[in-house]
Structure 1
Amino acid sequence: MAFPVLLFVLLFPLVHGFTPRITAVVTGGNRGLGLAISDLLAEVGYHVILTARNAEEGQARVADIQRRHGQNRCEFMALDVSEPKSIKAFVDQMKRNEEMRGGVPHVLINNAGICVRDEDAAAAVEGSGGREGVYRSVFDINTWAPVALMEACLPGMCKHGFGCIVNISSGDGELAYLHSEVAKRLKRVRSLAELKQFSDWVAQMQQEGPWPRGEGLAPVSWPAYSFSKAVLNAATRLLQSRVDALVSKDMKVRAHQPRIVAICPGDVNTAMCDEHAAHDALSPEQAALDVVWAVLHSKECHGGYFYRARRAIPW
């Protein structure tokens, strides 16, 4: 019982007075870290829109959260981040939601993701498009789906002067772990269009063969995942810069401007965790504390930064 009591003591002063319709969207909320984040946000007072591609599983998890925290604390919306049509349908559904100010949530947690452990085996599957196709699929889910959701939400957030977006990233996406040429070029990227063009080039390079000097894209067994998270970090920085530029022209928004942050939750004991790291990994409930901390602590967690264990870390 100590953990819930401690959580209440830490968070109650921050959420006292919250209304049920301060809304948070969590992608991939039906299991693992996404489910733990959804449950914790509902506990501290948010109305959580839990999304998943599996409707039956998502609705079951929503029912669990409602039993614990109340009927008005959670609802389900279908979202398959691998499908652009599903993303568009989800955004359109939000815009029609009369209880959501400006058709956007107060909080967006881009949690849904994929890690391909054996890229060669995945590339050998018929219809995969080879290694380039595998890389593009990973980028689409881990990077470009979050970007699409951010671009859909940010205009409304900026207009109404609220918002926090948390992108669940990974330490594997730190520039220090990437091929030196890739890290240098990522530092120089100045627009999302340039970022997309660069990620397409990297995918093509995987198809063509070994990198210069025999180096790999990243020193892990899942370089596509590593690079996709590095690009997500870069998108976080670029979109926060766009918000800052917009806000600098509008004094009304400045006091409550949207924040976009990337969070490395550390090794979390979920289906995506490497089996060698699972023994020492955090539970989803433990990792969710840092994600919700980022949402609630705007003075300590600044937009455009990459955090682990509540400290800013290098990109």
Structure 2
Amino acid sequence: MVSVLSCVLPVIKLYLLGLRVLLVQLFSKAFRLPVMPRQDGKVAIVTGGVRGIGYEVVRHMASLGAHVIIAGRDEQEGLAAIKRISEEHSEAKVEFEELDLASLQSVRQFVQTFKARDLQLNILVNNAGVMLVPEGRTKDGFEQHLGVNYLGHFLLTWLLLDALKDSGKHGPLSRVVSVSSSAHAAGEIRLDDLNSCRHYSAHAAYCHSKLALLLFSTHLHRELQHRGFPVTSCAVDPGMVDTALYCHLWSPLRPIQGAIARLLFRTPAQGAATVLYAALSPDLEGDCGGGYWANGRREMTTPPTFDPHLQLSLWDASRRLLGLH
């Protein structure tokens, strides 16, 4: 009975939460990104920038003059994305570098290659993710949602912090923007079972990973501000967006998924608007940075997000899993 409930309850919670989000989106106006300042001379890394929200973030940053590095797994998709952006903006400076967030070795290799180029780094957008994928493990043995959505981005950010700090000393502060989800509200952090070994549910694992990413973002911002480093960290909920992320939805919904998405979901460009605002807006400079943003506004989150003990406990547990000292 307990096993059945542990599988069914996360599904019910996530779909009820999704229904609420859809209703809110139906009766509210999508945030429109104001005109952002030019980003000439700035360097940005965007994970998962070959399609969906990530692609729209890369496309817009490149149109403003930023040098954008798409970090992703599929080189062919990356080159195709670069081609489309270059055809639209002939002066765009966009490139692709291989990064598999399901492999710690790949993350380390990506950072090593980036640092060897001696580039500055002004913006890091932790956007890539998986949702409701079948039970499985990353190359390092982590549950897939935890490994890709959270731990891979934790390690990437940790290894790039020095570059972000150095770049933030000269002009506007550097920024880390992590794409979370309203699904974090249905998540919980089980420090004794982060890999969901006891009772696996893809729905629960996804929610847990998005809550973990939000806790990471909040704790990182507090630490950076406390130590006086010129970097801010915030999390963004892009809303429910019509992207490939939803390809593993509950099977009875799949025949009508396209119709639902067209009617109720936001477009990738609309989903990217708040991500871009968090990454580029002068309004979020300095003490105004940090927080959790949705539809262009700073939002409150669930009580666990504000628990400094939970934040620190997860931070320390994550460092141990990643072998960071």
TMscore range, shorter length: 0.7 to 0.9
Q: Distance in 2 between matches of 1:269 and 1:281?
A: 6
- Give the drift of 1:72: 4.5
Matches of 2:283 and 2:148 in 1, distance apart?
30
Report the TM-score when normalising by structure 1.
Answer: 0.72
1:209, CA displacement in angstroms?
4.2
2:216 alignment counterpart: 235
8 Å CA contact 2:62–2:92 kept in 1: the answer is no
1:170 paired residue number: 181
Q: How does 1:1-315 map to 2 (within 5 A)?
A: 10-11=34-35, 14-15=37-38, 18-19=39-40, 21-98=41-118, 100-101=119-120, 105-116=121-132, 122-123=134-135, 128=136, 136-160=143-167, 161=169, 162-174=173-185, 177-178=186-187, 182=188, 198-199=190-191, 201-203=193-195, 206-209=196-199, 222-247=203-228, 257-273=230-246, 274=249, 275=257, 278=261, 279-300=263-284, 302-315=288-301
2:26 matched to which residue of 1?
Answer: none
- 8 A contact 1:109–1:166 mirrored in 2: yes
Mapped to 1, the partners of 2:192 and 2:89 lie a distance apart of 44
Query: Which deviates more, 289-298 or 154-163?
Result: 154-163
Contact 2:65 2:92 in 1 (8 A): no
Take 1:234 and 1:33, find their aligned partners in 2: how far apart are those partners? 22
Cα distance 1:288–1:209, how it changes in 2: closer, same or farther (>3 A)? closer
CA contact (8 A) 1:264 1:308 kept: yes
What secondary structure is seen at the aligned counterpart in 2 of 1:201? coil
Three-state SS of the structure 1 residue aligned to 2:233 is strand
Matched residue type, 2:218:
R
Distance in 2 (alpha carbons) for counterparts of 1:59 and 1:199: 40
Q: Distance in 2 between matches of 1:47 and 1:286?
A: 22
In the alignment, is the contact (CA less than 8 A) between 1:158 and 1:243 conserved in 2? Answer: no
Unaligned runs of at least 5 residues, structure 1: 1-5, 187-197, 211-216, 248-252
Amino acid at match of 1:106: N
Deviations 1:91-118 (A, max 9, x none): 01110113x12xxx2111111100125x
- In 1, are the aligned partners of 2:111 and 2:159 still within 8 Å (CA)? yes
Distance 1:207 1:147, change over 3 A: closer
8 Å Cα contact 1:136/1:200 also seen in 2? no
Secondary structure class of the residue paired with 1:113: coil
8 Å Cα contact 2:100/2:106 also seen in 1? yes
Amino acid at match of 1:85: Q
Give the aligned CA root-mean-square deviation in angstroms: 2.4
Contact 2:225/2:232 (<8 A) preserved? no
**Identity value in percent:** 25
Q: CA offset at residue 246 of structure 1?
A: 1.5
The alpha-carbon deviation at position 277 of structure 1 amounts to 5.1
Q: Is the 8 A contact 1:164 1:295 kept in 2?
A: yes
Which residue of structure 1 aligns with residue 18 of structure 2?
none
Counterpart secondary structure, 2:183: helix
Deviations 1:198-223 (Å, cap 9, x if unpaired)?
445243xx44349xxxxxx8xxx711
